[in-house]
Structure formats: structure tokens, C-alpha cells
């Protein structure tokens, strides 16, 4: 009989226990590509190299200093193309694609006269206007490109005044549906008056509401270009930059509607300005943001909302 013990379990051999030092815990953070956009990873002891984003998109560079915001353009000028072949003969649209309709001889004179008035406007009479420059956005249609060439004649003596030119397809004319049948187009325009000028969509074409959608996208691009100083020479913050949009009658009216937040009723109460004419949107003193007052452009209508530009006048009034 076995002797009584404190435990009924047989004794186990002793196993040596080896104590290991715990490694310090490491905090792991998963980062997506958006977290590091424009930010280079810092590695101790290694020289920092600019990231591809910083090389190709310097506006995204992140640094300790807060960048100085770029000033708003002194003016945004909306210019309608000069008289076109379609303005004097609507039958031209039945045999020539709309994007290929060019200017008439009078249309070229309209463009050159517009260029002289623009130059006179930008030069001004004050000494602080000596460093003025102009940046153009232009519709890719032939009549607007020719208008821009006519305007450019006024700047041939000092081409450095032109900060840049960008062809912008979103500034194109309302699409009326490829080749146009003259009689059918007459019926469609009569129907548009009954249906409503803003919402009526031409067969195989666009309504003014469709143009509004693409102009909304362009407006965001323009605002972004202003914010990042797209028009400014490197290292400069000029307050005498002017932006000119060379486009078409309805497209420019839709731009004004979108910029000033006009209602559909207000839009339908205004008409195109003349060929080679334009509208000047000018900042107030100090670039203050004030309520827009389009004045003679929309006649009896008032607007609401804020805008960078609080003065408007026609180029023909200069």
C-alpha cells in the first residue's frame, strides 16, 4: 500500500523556464493613397527627394509655410464671336457642320475692334495697371477661334501681355443636332417658345439645361485655376490679371446664370449680346465679395448670392 502524500498525482520532472524579453510593440497604421498624396515619406539619414506629385503637380506640394493665396483676376470678360456665316444665312447650317462655320468679313472687323477695346480696357489710366496681362479661354468652333485671332491683332506689339490661351470644349455652342434642316429648325424653334427656352431639347441635340450642366463643370475648373494661380507667372501674385472667355451667345448667358445663380425665369428674360460684343465682370475695390447687380443685362430682375465680381458693363459702352 502506498504511503499517503499531499497529492494523488505522481511527481513530474522539473523543466527549466527560459524568460524572454518582450519586444516593444509597434503601432502599425495602414495608409491609403489619398493619405500620402503630395507628401514624401521621411526616412532618417536619407535626403528627401520630391515625390512624383510634387514634380508634376507643384501646387500639391506640402510644406511648413502657409502659401499666400493668389489674388482674384481683376476682370472676367465674356466675348461673343464676331458675325458668322450662319448669322447672315441660316441655310449655311444645312451644308456646313456647325463647328466649321466661319466669320464673315464684317465678323473679322468685329473681332479686331473688340481686341482694341479690350486692350484699352486692360491698360486703364492708372499707374498700377502697368503690369496687366490677359488669359484666354476659347470655344473650339471655327468662328470663335477666328474671333480670338482677330482680337490677338491688338496685342501683336507686346505679345508678352498674353499669359496663355486654352481651348475649352465645354464653351462650345449649344448642339442643335448635326446638319440642320432649315424648315424643320424653324418648326423646332417655334416649339421651343411654347415649351420653354431653357428646358426644350432639340432632337439629337441639347437643351439650355444640358449646356448648364457642362458649364457647371467648366465653372469649377475656372474657380480651381483661379485658386491655384494658373494664370500667374511663377513667383508672381499680380492683381492685374484679366480672363477672357470667347464663346457663343447662349453659352455665355448660361455662364452668367450659373455664376450669379439666376433662376430659369431670369434666364428666359434675357437675350444674347451682339456679335463681337462682350460683358465685363469686374471686381470691386480690394476684391471684396458683394452681391451681384447685373444692371442693364437682366433689366428688371434682381439676383441673390455672393460673387467675386460686382460690376458689369458692355464693351460697346467703352
Phi–psi pair at 258, nearest 5 degrees: -70, -40
List all residues 6 or more positions away from 109 whose beta carbon is below 8 Å from its beta carbon. Answer: 82, 150
Cell of 21: 524579453
Where residue 287 falls among pLDDT bands split at 50, 70, 90? Answer: very low
For residue range 88-143, what is the model confidence (pLDDT) as tens digits? 998 899 899 999 999 999 999 999 999 999 999 998 855 566 789 999 999 999 99
For residue range 189-232, what is the model confidence (pLDDT) as tens digits? 898 989 988 999 998 899 999 999 999 999 999 999 988 888 88
Res 131: pLDDT: 84
- Supply the DSSP string of 236-256, one letter for each residue: ---S-EEEEEEE-HHHHHHHH
Res 62: pLDDT: 57
For residue range 252-282, what is the model confidence (pLDDT) as tens digits? 999 999 999 999 999 988 899 899 999 999 8
User: Comparing 146 with 193, which gets the higher pLDDT?
Assistant: 146
User: Comparing 296 with 194, which gets the higher pLDDT?
Assistant: 194
Task: Determine how many CB atoms are found less than 10 A away from the CB of residue 308.
Answer: 19
Question: What is the pLDDT averaged over residues 235-242?
Answer: 84
CATH code, 75-247+270-277: 3.40.50.1240
The span from the CA of 224 to the CA of 245, in Å, is: 16
Residue 279 contacts residue 297 (beta carbons within 8 Å): yes
Question: Does position 5 have pLDDT exceeding 70, yes or no?
Answer: no
User: Comparing 67 with 171, which gets the higher pLDDT?
Assistant: 171
Stretch among 50-54, 139-143, 247-251 having the lowest mean pLDDT: 50-54
Cell of 241: 490679371
Res 303: pLDDT: 36
Question: Does position 57 have pLDDT exceeding 70, yes or no?
Answer: no
Res 75: pLDDT: 92
The span from the CA of 168 to the CA of 225, in Å, is: 13
Domain-by-domain residue ranges, the chain? 75-247+270-277
Cell of 290: 458683394
Where residue 298 falls among pLDDT bands split at 50, 70, 90? Answer: very low
Res 49: pLDDT: 59
Phi–psi pair at 288, nearest 5 degrees: -65, 150
Instruction: Indicate the SS3 state at residue 193.
Output: helix
The pTM is what? 0.70
- For the stretch 118-121, contacts whose Cβ atoms lie closer than 8 Å and that sit 24 or more positions apart, written own/partner, are 118/77, 118/79, 118/151, 118/154, 118/244, 118/278, 118/315, 119/154, 119/155, 120/318, 121/75, 121/77, 121/280, 121/315, 121/318
**Helix extents (H) in 9-141:** 52-56, 85-88, 92-95, 105-123
The alpha carbon dihedral of 165, 167, 168, 171 has a sign of positive
The set of catalytic residues is 81, 173
For residue range 6-42, what is the model confidence (pLDDT) as tens digits? 555 556 566 565 555 656 555 444 444 444 444 444 5
User: Comparing 311 with 291, which gets the higher pLDDT?
Assistant: 311
Look at residues 173, 157, 163 and name the one whose alpha carbon lies nearest to residue 97: 173
The strand pair at 306-307 and 290-291 is best described as antiparallel
Beta bridge partners of 137: 166, 245
The span from the CA of 274 to the CA of 180, in Å, is: 23
The span from the CA of 247 to the CA of 257, in Å, is: 15
Res 252: pLDDT: 96
Res 181: pLDDT: 81
Amino acid at each position: 500500500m502506498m504511503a499517503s502524500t499531499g497529492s494523488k498525482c505522481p511527481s513530474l520532472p522539473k523543466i527549466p523556464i527560459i524568460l524572454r524579453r518582450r519586444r516593444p510593440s509597434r503601432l502599425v497604421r495602414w495608409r491609403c493613397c489619398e493619405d500620402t498624396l503630395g507628401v514624401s515619406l521621411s526616412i532618417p539619414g536619407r535626403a528627401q527627394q520630391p515625390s512624383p506629385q510634387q514634380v508634376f503637380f507643384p501646387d500639391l506640394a506640402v510644406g511648413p509655410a502657409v502659401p499666400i493665396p493668389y489674388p482674384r483676376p481683376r476682370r472676367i470678360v465674356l466675348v461673343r464671336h464676331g458675325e458668322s456665316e450662319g448669322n447672315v444665312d441660316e441655310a449655311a447650317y444645312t451644308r456646313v457642320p456647325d463647328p466649321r462655320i466661319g466669320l464673315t468679313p464684317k465678323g473679322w472687323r468685329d473681332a479686331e475692334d473688340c481686341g482694341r477695346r479690350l486692350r484699352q480696357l486692360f491698360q486703364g489710366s492708372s499707374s498700377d495697371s502697368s503690369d496687366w496681362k490677359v488669359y484666354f479661354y476659347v470655344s473650339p468652333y471655327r468662328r470663335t477661334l477666328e474671333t480670338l485671332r482677330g482680337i490677338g491683332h491688338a496685342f501683336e506689339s507686346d505679345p508678352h501681355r498674353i499669359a496663355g490661351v486654352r481651348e475649352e470644349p465645354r464653351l462650345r455652342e449649344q448642339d442643335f443636332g448635326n446638319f440642320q434642316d432649315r424648315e424643320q429648325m424653324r418648326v423646332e424653334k417655334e416649339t421651343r417658345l411654347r415649351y420653354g427656352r431653357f428646358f426644350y431639347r432639340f432632337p439629337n441635340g441639347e437643351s439650355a439645361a444640358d449646356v448648364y450642366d457642362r458649364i457647371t463643370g467648366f465653372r469649377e475648373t475656372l474657380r480651381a485655376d483661379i485658386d491655384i494661380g494658373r494664370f500667374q507667372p511663377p513667383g508672381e501674385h499680380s492683381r492685374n490679371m484679366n480672363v477672357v472667355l470667347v464663346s457663343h451667345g447662349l453659352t455665355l448667358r448660361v455662364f452668367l446664370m450659373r455664376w450669379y445663380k439666376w433662376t430659369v425665369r431670369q434666364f428666359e428674360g434675357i437675350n444674347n449680346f451682339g456679335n463681337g460684343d462682350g460683358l465685363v465682370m469686374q471686381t470691386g475695390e480690394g476684391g471684396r465679395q458683394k452681391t451681384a447687380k447685373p444692371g442693364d443685362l437682366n433689366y428688371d430682375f434682381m439676383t441673390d448670392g455672393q460673387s467675386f465680381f460686382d460690376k458689369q458693363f458692355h464693351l460697346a459702352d467703352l
